[in-house]
Chain A
Amino acid sequence: MRNSRRSVPLTLVAGVVLLYSLLPLVWLVINATKSQPGLFRSFGLWFDRDFALFDNISDTLRYDDGIFVRWLLNTLMYVVAGAGGATLLAVMGGYALAKFDFPGKRAVFAVVIGAVAVPGTALAVPTFLMFSEMGLTNTPWAVIIPSLISPFGLYLMWTFAEQAIPDELIEAARVDGAGEFRTFFRICLPVLAPGIVTVLLFTTVATWNNYFLPLIMLKNPDWYPLTLGLNAWNQQAGTAGGEAVFNLVITASLLTILPLIAAFLCLQRYWQSGLTAGSVKE
């Protein structure tokens, strides 16, 4: 049923929230068009007399032998391997936990719920010491392997699979002679698509924004993701003779969030249906 009555207070609240989320983005877009002197002489939320967006973009891509492009590719690699792997593991694990009975399932449940409660930051230092022993620090593995674990994604897929896949569907597939793998990949996976996209978006954002873990794991700028690289550029201003490149930091930040915005816009449809799926008990 459609309710077309408008609530003024709710609209106002939604408006404030909208403003709150969009303002930093607007600021970023406006300031990415300013040259370094322009940043200092103009009002923060309006344009400067010089429009330097395209100069800024080309400087960003070329600065320091084009290291920004390298960081972008690194980040993409971490996302594909880390977030992609995490999603795959979460989907397979969630499906198995939802649809198969085995001893110790309750214990697994407790561990997963417990793991959701532990923030990744708290584990970063022990992980560093462990990886250091294994000789994996300062390699891409140090970022990818911890990213593969997403307890929240697993939990989400678990509940999602439980409700989205009727047991009858699996039984029908088995009766028709499909093996377990075939059942999973050909029958169940398409049904799980909205949930997969949701988990994929979550893990992608988490990997894309990952800062603390690479900060302590990586020393070689050649393996930096964008978050670390941008911070390194920002730090340059704080040293003798260092080149302050605030305009490039801002422009690079804008370029950094564009792929994420694109991912959200493209996958929005699936995501919304994923969020509401399972909210109504059939």
Chain B
Amino acid sequence: MSRSRTRHVSRAAALLAALSLALTACGSSSSQGGDSGEKVDAAAVESALQAGGDLTVWAWEPTLKKVVSDFQAKYPKVHVKLVNAGTGNDQYTALQNAIKAGSGVPDLAQVEYYALPQFALGKSLTDLNRFGAGSLKSSFTTGPWTGVTSGDALYGLPMDSGPMALFYNKTIFDKYDVAVPTTWEQYLEAARKIHKADPKIYITSDTGDAGFTTSMIWQAGGKPFQVQGTSVKVDLADSGTARFTQLWQKLIDEKLLSPITGWSDEWYKGLGDGSLATLVTGAWMPANFSGAATAASGQWRVAPMPQWTAGGTATAENGGSSLTVPAASRKATLAYGFLRYATADAGATTRVEQGAFPATTADLTSESFLNKSFPYFGGQQVNKVLSEAATQVVSGWSYLPFQVYANNIYKDTVGKAYTGASTLSKALVAWQDACKEYGSTQGFTLQ
């Protein structure tokens, strides 16, 4: 969910991360001190919590602060140090470097679903089956649960989820008498109508965002990344991808997309001042709307994601994070105690109360959650729409075991499609080739 902004500094940092990945993948086993693979039961976890100790947590998720203070009130002997070691990519670089260096590795780390395979494959994370965490499967929704599993292994527990929906500015749709689109064809029509009525208003903004594109392909039924062990297949020309590129190319060609980069201050301004009419994104977005696009309070609404076939109900996940225990942690049992508290037990509810979108079925279906009305969205009970979306995520998706790197170089190739120097479908194939080339230098077998 953090955007992959391409700056030269983050590029260099990514290079470092890649370097570290290559080195860890080549098997530095010295950093796996804490993981003896022994089974630990719930009673042992509880007694570790009572005995106490210090834990370091790397996370940028703001709702964890309250979870930490509640947790320390419950287990006064445990001291949790919550460190913001960077948002998204910056933190992965730091984590990768720490794992490689074998020192300074935190006991817990927030890792987004798209980045998890990268750490899992390097054997950098503890398999939580050791603690019997597999039994929590029924507590979580399918999308995020798939995100944290790899074969039989379980590399983290979901903190939140991002089933996608259509956020739209109702005032604009009402003013120009445009129906809220339920299919992507209608979305294109709406884009044309609105931009024609007021050339300053765009249906949405996009300058090339890997997270968004992959989620759109996911919803369209594409499965461009297939991973089996170290054998990786990249196919960014499959039928699902083609569905997406055909539609999006029209939006690009007809100049219906605003050239604002996502997550910039300009973007928040656009969401607030009515120059961006819709946003198709993950269910965690309401908190960002009410926090930073305050000017548009009361104007936005939420609807199900537009469909590829009329009457369909498919959606995809976008963003979302898990909490993991790095293999190098020497306090894995205690760390798991906090992990469970923060993701599956009381902590999950605390975070939902503060605006996080849950991955736990109990929270997703609770009456108070569903019936909560949002003043920002004109009193709409948006969780009803979002919660339903969580059950409609298309299954069978997987990310690359080097997705962090792949998303980092996305703009180098696909960015050209947005300036007219290439087409989206050609640019995606160029991205595919770049991914393949990188993958084979990292020791993967590419097909």
Q: How far is the CA of A269 from the CA of B285 in the complex (A)?
A: 54
Interchain CB contact under 8 A, B265 and A215:
no
Interchain CB contact under 8 A, A243 and B62:
yes
Across the interface, name the chain A residue whose C-beta is closest to B60.
Answer: A239
Q: How far is the CA of A211 from the CA of B269 in the complex (A)?
A: 28
Partner of B12, one of A41, A125, A244: A125
Min CB gap A24→B, angstroms: 16
Interface residues of B in 263-288 (CB under 8 A from A): 263, 265, 268-269, 272-273, 282, 284-285, 287-288
Interchain CB contact under 8 A, B295 and A40:
yes
Interface residues of B in 76-125 (CB under 8 A from A): 83-88, 90, 93-94, 97-98, 100-101, 103-104
Whether a CB of chain B sits under 8 angstroms from the CB of A232 is: yes
Whether a CB of chain B sits under 8 angstroms from the CB of A138 is: yes
Interface residues of B in 251-272 (CB under 8 A from A): 263, 265, 268-269, 272
Contacts of A208 in B (CB 8 A): none
A225-258 near B? 1/0 per residue, CB < 8 Å = 0000000100111111111101000000000000
Q: How far is the CA of A40 from the CA of B291 in the complex (A)?
A: 13
Whether a CB of chain A sits under 8 angstroms from the CB of B3 is: yes
- With contacts A219-B94, A241-B63 known, is A246 near B16, CB below 8 A? no
Interchain CB contact under 8 A, A240 and B288:
yes
Interchain CB contact under 8 A, B162 and A40:
no
Across the interface, name the chain A residue whose C-beta is closest to B319.
Answer: A240
Whether a CB of chain A sits under 8 angstroms from the CB of B356 is: yes
Contacts of A128 in B (CB 8 A): 16, 97
Q: How far is the CA of A240 from the CA of B144 in the complex (A)?
A: 15
Whether a CB of chain A sits under 8 angstroms from the CB of B195 is: no
Contacts of A77 in B (CB 8 A): none
Whether a CB of chain B sits under 8 angstroms from the CB of A279 is: no
B176-213 near A? 1/0 per residue, CB < 8 Å = 00000000000000000000000000000000000000
Interchain CB contact under 8 A, B97 and A132:
yes
Whether a CB of chain B sits under 8 angstroms from the CB of A37 is: yes
Most buried by A among B265, B285, B354, B356: B265
Interchain CB contact under 8 A, A238 and B3:
yes
Interface residues of A in 151-171 (CB under 8 A from B): none
- With contacts A40-B268, A128-B16, A215-B13 known, is A238 near B5, CB below 8 A? yes
Q: How far is the CA of A240 from the CA of B87 in the complex (A)?
A: 10
- With contacts A36-B292, A216-B13 known, is A241 near B356, CB below 8 A? yes
Interchain CB contact under 8 A, A240 and B292:
no
Contacts of A235 in B (CB 8 A): 2, 60, 86-88, 90
Interchain CB contact under 8 A, A240 and B97:
no
Contacts of A11 in B (CB 8 A): none
Interchain CB contact under 8 A, A244 and B86:
no
Whether a CB of chain A sits under 8 angstroms from the CB of B240 is: no
State the interface size on chain B (CB cutoff 8 A): 52
Whether a CB of chain A sits under 8 angstroms from the CB of B61 is: yes
Interface residues of A in 11-70 (CB under 8 A from B): 36-37, 39-41
Interchain CB contact under 8 A, A135 and B294:
no
Across the interface, name the chain A residue whose C-beta is closest to B266.
Answer: A40
A84-126 near B? 1/0 per residue, CB < 8 Å = 0000000000000000000000000000000000000000110
Contacts of B354 in A (CB 8 A): 241
Whether a CB of chain B sits under 8 angstroms from the CB of A221 is: yes
Interchain CB contact under 8 A, A216 and B87:
no
Contacts of B104 in A (CB 8 A): 137-138, 219-220
Interface of A is mostly: helix
Across the interface, name the chain B residue whose C-beta is closest to A121.
Answer: B12
Interchain CB contact under 8 A, B88 and A135:
no
Contacts of B268 in A (CB 8 A): 40, 237, 244, 246
Q: How far is the CA of A211 from the CA of B12 in the complex (A)?
A: 13
Contacts of B273 in A (CB 8 A): 40-41
B43-85 near A? 1/0 per residue, CB < 8 Å = 0000000000000000011110000000000000000000111
Most buried by B among A128, A132, A237: A237
Q: How far is the CA of A239 from the CA of B262 in the complex (A)?
A: 11
Contacts of B285 in A (CB 8 A): 240
Across the interface, name the chain A residue whose C-beta is closest to B297.
Answer: A37
Whether a CB of chain A sits under 8 angstroms from the CB of B328 is: no
Min CB gap A142→B, angstroms: 11
Q: How far is the CA of A137 from the CA of B355 in the complex (A)?
A: 36
Min CB gap B295→A, angstroms: 6
Interchain CB contact under 8 A, A244 and B291:
yes
Across the interface, name the chain B residue whose C-beta is closest to A138.
Answer: B104
Partner of A238, one of B15, B88, B160: B88
Interchain CB contact under 8 A, B284 and A240:
yes
- With contacts A215-B13, A237-B268, A240-B160 known, is A221 near B83, CB below 8 A? yes
Min CB gap B103→A, angstroms: 7
- With contacts A36-B292, A241-B288 known, is A236 near B16, CB below 8 A? no
Interchain CB contact under 8 A, B98 and A219:
yes
Partner of A239, one of B87, B97, B294, B355: B87
Q: How far is the CA of A164 from the CA of B421 in the complex (A)?
A: 59
Whether a CB of chain B sits under 8 angstroms from the CB of A212 is: yes
Partner of A132, one of B83, B101, B160, B295: B101
Interchain CB contact under 8 A, B263 and A237:
yes
Min CB gap A274→B, angstroms: 32
Across the interface, name the chain B residue whose C-beta is closest to A39.
Answer: B265
Contacts of B103 in A (CB 8 A): 135, 138
Across the interface, name the chain A residue whose C-beta is closest to B272.
Answer: A40
Interchain CB contact under 8 A, A239 and B88:
yes
Q: How far is the CA of A139 from the CA of B184 in the complex (A)?
A: 52
Interchain CB contact under 8 A, B284 and A241:
yes
Contacts of A41 in B (CB 8 A): 273, 295
Partner of B86, one of A40, A132, A232, A246: A232
A239-B1, A240-B319, A242-B60 given; 10 more Cβ-contact pairs under 8 Å = A36-B294, A40-B269, A128-B16, A215-B13, A237-B263, A237-B292, A240-B357, A242-B62, A243-B291, A246-B268
20 contacts between A and B (CB under 8 A): A128-B97, A132-B101, A138-B98, A216-B16, A219-B85, A219-B98, A221-B83, A232-B84, A232-B87, A232-B90, A235-B86, A239-B87, A240-B288, A240-B321, A241-B355, A242-B62, A242-B288, A243-B62, A243-B291, A246-B268
On B, residues with C-beta under 8 Å from A are 1-3, 5, 9, 12-13, 15-16, 60-63, 83-88, 90, 93-94, 97-98, 100-101, 103-104, 160, 162, 263, 265, 268-269, 272-273, 282, 284-285, 287-288, 291-292, 294-295, 319-321, 354-357
